[in-house]
Amino acid sequence: MNEPKQALLSADLKVINIGLELFADSLAAQAVDVVRVDWKPPLELEPELERILDDLL
């Protein structure tokens, strides 16, 4: 195990929010630096299309 990093506890918190907007809003309300990733689930490929892509790549 590496030495535990102290950076998290001794530095200002800077957060990347991936998911519920509610949590990013709460951090912003506490004046925490936060940026949001516009997360969306990956597109569902039809199995056939997936097979064709696999063949091509």
| Positions in the binding site for another protein (CB under 8 A) | 1-24, 26-27, 29-30, 32-44
Cβ 8 to another protein, closest distance in Å? 5
| Residue type (1 letter), 51 | R
Give 30's strand partners. Answer: none
Cβ 57 to another protein, closest distance in Å? 19
> Nearest 5 degrees, angle CA 27-CA 36-CA 40?
130
Q: Which is nearer to another protein, 10 or 57 (CB)?
A: 10
Using the Cα atoms of residue 21, residue 26, residue 28 and residue 33 in order, give the sign of their dihedral: negative
Q: Which is nearer to another protein, 12 or 54 (CB)?
A: 12
